[in-house]
Amino acid sequence: MSIFDNLVGKVSSALGVDLHEKLAEQIQSLLQPEMIQTLVAKADEAGLGDKVRSWIGKGDNLPVSPDEIRNILGSAQVQALVSKTGLPAETLLPALSHFLPQAVDQKTPEGEA
């Protein structure tokens, strides 16, 4: 089992929902280097750049709320994820806020996107 699969499993258990393959695919797409750089840029625009940079850096990961995830991704991206996964935003956003910081951190072990 990969680290990513382990994270999805933990979030599934914590939320009491089955985070199916479509969600895993969409989250994996957010973890590509160019998308991580886009996340940083969008976070900067939302005034949350320090949080996303903490996930990339070698220190502790700053937590992020579901509302902050919505601000970083933007409503259009959230709606696209809802459409592609079939999960409501009320399930999707807490899942992202819970595991995206750790997933980005693990994808950037050298502290660079």
Any domain includes 43 = yes
Residue 68 forms part of a structural domain: yes
Q: Residue 69 belongs to a domain with what CATH number?
A: 1.10.10.690
Look at residue 71 in the predicted model and tell me its pLDDT: 96
pLDDT of amino acid 56? 93
For residue 13, being part of any structural domain is answered with no
- What is the DSSP annotation of 73-91? H-HHHHHHHHHHH---HHH
Domain that residue 85 falls in: 3-8+21-107
Q: Mean pLDDT of successive 10-residue segments in the chain (113 residues)?
A: 55 58 73 89 96 92 96 93 86 87 86 73
**Pick from 106, 100, 95: which is nearest to 11 by CA?**
95
For 9, 35, 56, 63, the CA distances from 59, given in Å and listed in that order, are 25, 21, 9, 13
Does a structural domain hold residue 100? yes
**Per the domain annotation, does 69 fall within a domain?**
yes
Report which DSSP code applies to 62: P
Q: What pLDDT score was predicted for residue 52?
A: 95
**Total structural domains in the chain?**
1
Distance CA 70, CA 104 (A): 17
Residue 113 lies in a domain: no
